[in-house]
Structure 1
Amino acid sequence: MNNLPNRRGNKPTTTPSNPHMQLDQQPNDPLIIEELMEWAFSLPHINREYSKISVPGAQAMCLPTDKVCDACNAFMTGTEFAHFHPHPDYSMHIGLPLADANLVIDKGWGELHPVVRKGWLPPNFIMLFAPRDTDEMEIAKKILLRSYEFATGN
């Protein structure tokens, strides 16, 4: 993640509390999100489930219990380490190693989940903004892959 570029433009508008949602700067073509989700849910050992912690319709990336990193702080609930918010939001919440979470925020690709400030989640859980185009989708894949690696202990 060392070569993560800066996200162009201003950060999207988001809600300050739960449900934590992205309110603008979604992709014009929803196929970008469909392609990103298809890629994410094709990673080895990923179970696609409805999120147990997010808004109705959110799709969660979960792992079988024998594939999780027990020593990592990668999971929001159970074995759910990331989830995609449904239309019209399209942002994601993910767990990352703290240094990577800070880098993603510093480079403008995401922000802390508001419940972190309340102490309900540790500071390595962030919102990853919805990719606006295919170039940003490739960056989102790299960030999601890092979340997956973290959750699996790699």
Structure 2
Amino acid sequence: MVGAHDHAVIREGDRPETGPEVPHLQYTQISPPQIKEALRHWMATALPGIVPGHSEISVPSTWAVFLSDVAPAEGARLFLPRGNAEFAHLHADGSLHLALDPADHPAFLASGWGEKHPLYDRGVNVVMFYAPRDQAELEVAKKVIAASYQYATGHAHGLGVVGTSRATSSRGCRCASRSQSATYARLIVASKAPPPRPSRRRTGTHLRPRPRDDHPGRLTTAARPALIDARHVKWHLPDRQAGSPC
């Protein structure tokens, strides 16, 4: 449970634009290359009992971490197709997909740091953490990944809770200190509502964000099928309920 002395951790600024369907990627506010590489290195070296590699469920450019020398926690719902190994992956744009404890989804989603996967309401236990834009946001990303690792394994990573040291980024990201939680490193619902998602509707017609070819995270409609491995085509069938490429 969240203690009485917990404080909000708020992501500053507007939410980025993301795709409304799979593959679920981020189009704006992407990570600088050095931030993304630092996060990838940390994921590969800081989490015990994992092995890195290409995602088994996302587009080929997506890099993931899998449980290897540690068993999954009983009842943990991890990524398809295996459901017991891949628990987090990093997209080319710097955004993350993670499996988190469902009990913590409401607080995470209300915090403004991420959003539901397009198939979340069909039972997929996947949320997106928006691409970290600077060092302070990178530290928040690490703590959310540590929370995902704890959910996947049942073992605490040791990073503690989000915002264990007070920090203010160049964007004003405030990470307030709080006591260690006995169960989970969770984000707290902010006292103010997060900014609304950018509207994609113009003059009554629903339009997706216009793709931009110079963006590594932007995929044109024509390019998307080519980036999805053939073994994942089955997830496009409309009667499938289990999951989809991330």
Aligned partner of 1:69: which letter? A
Structure 1 CA distance for aligned equivalents of residues 89 and 17 of structure 2: 19
Match of 1:39 in 2: 42
1:92 pairs with 2:96: yes
Match of 1:116 in 2: 120
Cα deviation 1:15-46 (Å, max 9, x = unaligned): 0000101000113x311111111111111111
Report the RMSD for the aligned CA atoms in angstroms.
1.7
1:83 pairs with 2:84: no
Aligned partner of 2:91: which letter? H
Aligned residue pair count: 147
Three-state SS of the structure 2 residue aligned to 1:111 is strand
Paired residues of 2:100 and 2:151 also in contact (CA < 8 A):
yes
Paired residues of 2:117 and 2:127 also in contact (CA < 8 A):
yes
1:50 pairs with 2:54: yes
Aligned partner of 1:40: which letter? M
* Structure 2: tracts of 5 or more residues without a match: 156-246
Three-state SS of the structure 2 residue aligned to 1:140 is helix
Ranges of 4+ aligned residues in structure 1 off by more than 3 Å: 1-4
Structure 2 CA distance for aligned equivalents of residues 146 and 120 of structure 1: 20
Structure 2 CA distance for aligned equivalents of residues 139 and 93 of structure 1: 14
Tell me the TM-score normalised to structure 1 length: 0.88
Structure 2 CA distance for aligned equivalents of residues 146 and 62 of structure 1: 15
1:153 pairs with 2:157: no
Cα deviation 1:59-103 (Å, max 9, x = unaligned): 111002742113222x112210111112xx211100101132222
Three-state SS of the structure 1 residue aligned to 2:25 is coil
Change (3 A) 1:58 1:35: same
The structure with the largest helix share of the pair is 1
Tell me the TM-score normalised to structure 2 length: 0.57
1:23 pairs with 2:27: yes
Paired residues of 2:26 and 2:130 also in contact (CA < 8 A):
yes
Structure 1 CA distance for aligned equivalents of residues 94 and 147 of structure 2: 19
How many Å apart are 1:3 and its aligned residue? Answer: 4.2
Structure 2 CA distance for aligned equivalents of residues 60 and 72 of structure 1: 17
Aligned partner of 1:30: which letter? P
* Structure 1: tracts of 5 or more residues without a match: none
